[in-house]
A and B are shown apart, each in its own frame.
Chain A
Amino acid sequence: MNWVLVVLGGMAGAPLRYLTDRAVQARHDTDFPWGTFTVNVAGSLVLGLLTGAVAAGAADSRVQLLLGTGLCGALTTYSTFSYETLTLARQGARWQAAANVTVSVAVGLAAACVGTALARLLWA
């Protein structure tokens, strides 16, 4: 049953990332990978919230597997994030590449903290 939950979550998260990326990238004409940035920050916020909910006893481990390991895990990505950074650097956009890394990890961590804090407010 656990495996099924992870598969289902992953099957929803990955296309959600793909569609969000397309929708975001269609709305601006820079090379900056805002689409991947958006899903990574949103996924970190939701996983923070969910982890906080599980810690507070408001959600059980099945929800964690479906929405956490499956959905948020597949919604967010490290491989595309680092590949897009490499592409920016190779195109000569070194500052953008550096900004992509620092802003993504800083805002991603902040989003995880906000999610956990929000869960404490809601359920603790």
Chain B
Amino acid sequence: MSVPPPERAPDAPVRVPVRQPYARRPSPWHGQASVVAVVALGGGIGATARYGASLLWPTRQGGFPWTTFCVNVVGCAVIGVFMVVITEAWAAHRLVRPFFGTGVLGGFTTFSTYAVDVERLLDAGHAVTALACFAATPLAALTAVWTASSATRRLLVSRQNARTGRADGTPS
């Protein structure tokens, strides 16, 4: 009779199989591919919409950059509505927020064009228009996001109260 030879020397260190990569603590980048993909898709859509607006309403040289101003204010109002709806009313798919909030709205609105518009107005000697754009854009943007967010929240609360039969306006 034959005894099968041992596969390795009895004193050889025992190898514990290391499961890669799932045995490790999940990295913060785990599961990010789909998020990055929808952010890219949304960013392409948002940037295209902004470019379309700039072609429809071109800004005259030295004039107040109304198109960039309006794009930014509209984008801020929409994110005000969107964030309330997605956090308080709608259990949306996990990719909806990165697609629309980070991608579309982030790609639609622009900070760099705002800064460079002000710089160009200053450089061309239109100091008053430059100052107006510099101050009015953040003021209007913050007013838009705050008003839109508060109005949406009030609307949601009143609809909820109507559904639960509360007429006194106290949040349920």
Contact = CB atoms under 8 A, between A and B. Distances in A.
Scoring B40, B50, B112, B138 by chain A CB atoms within 10 A of each residue's CB, the highest score goes to: B112
Interface size, B (range): 35 or more
Nearest to A101: B138
A70 B47 contact: yes
B79 A83 contact: yes
Q: Is the interface of A mostly helix, strand, loop or mixed?
A: helix
A81 B122 CA distance: 24
B36 A86 contact: no
A2 B79 CA distance: 28
Given A10-B107, A13-B47, A82-B141, A48 B116 contact: yes
A11 B41 CA distance: 6
Interface in B36-90: 36, 39-48, 50-51, 54, 72, 75-76, 78-80, 83
A47 B115 contact: yes
A18 B110 contact: no
Interface in B87-145: 98, 101-103, 105-116, 118-120, 122-123, 134, 137-138, 141-142, 144-145
A22 interface: yes
B107 to A, nearest CB: 4
B76 A82 contact: yes
Contacts of B43: 10-15, 17, 74
A76 B111 contact: yes
Interface string A59-94: 000000100011011111111111101100000000
Contacts of A8: 44
B28 interface: yes
Nearest to A23: B28
A73 B80 contact: no
A86 B146 contact: yes
A116 to B, nearest CB: 6
Given A69-B54, A105-B138, 4 more contacts: A10-B43, A12-B40, A85-B142, A109-B115
